[in-house]
Amino acid sequence: MKRLIVIAILIFGFASPAMADHCRKDIRIIQAALQGQNNAKAEKLLTKGRKLHKAGKHDEAETALHQAMKMLGIKH
């Protein structure tokens, strides 16, 4: 049982930085797509995604960022 807990902690420890990096990548892609566009809904989702990312809520941030990407026609 202890071994399983240690493995779970290690997996989560390695996954969290990867998720954070994924958020930053999506943010850059959305920012580039918004250049020269006026899409208030996508901008709101981008702002929401940034705030959630900074708060460490990467799953929620990804959801918001992926919605913005879909709105902008960006395949993920």
DSSP string, 28-56: HHHHHHHTT---HHHHHHHHHHHHHHHTT
Residue 10: pLDDT band with limits 50, 70, 90? low
CA–centroid distance for 41 within its chain: 16
What does the pLDDT average to over 35-49?
93
| Residue 68 predicted with pLDDT over 80 | yes
| Residue 50 predicted with pLDDT over 70 | yes
Cα separations in angstroms, 25 against 8, 18, 30 = 26, 11, 9
Tell me the pLDDT of the chain averaged across its residues.
Answer: 82
Residue 7: the pLDDT is: 59
The tens digit of pLDDT for each residue in 15-28 reads 444 455 788 999 99
What does the pLDDT average to over 47-74?
94
pTM for the whole thing?
Answer: 0.72
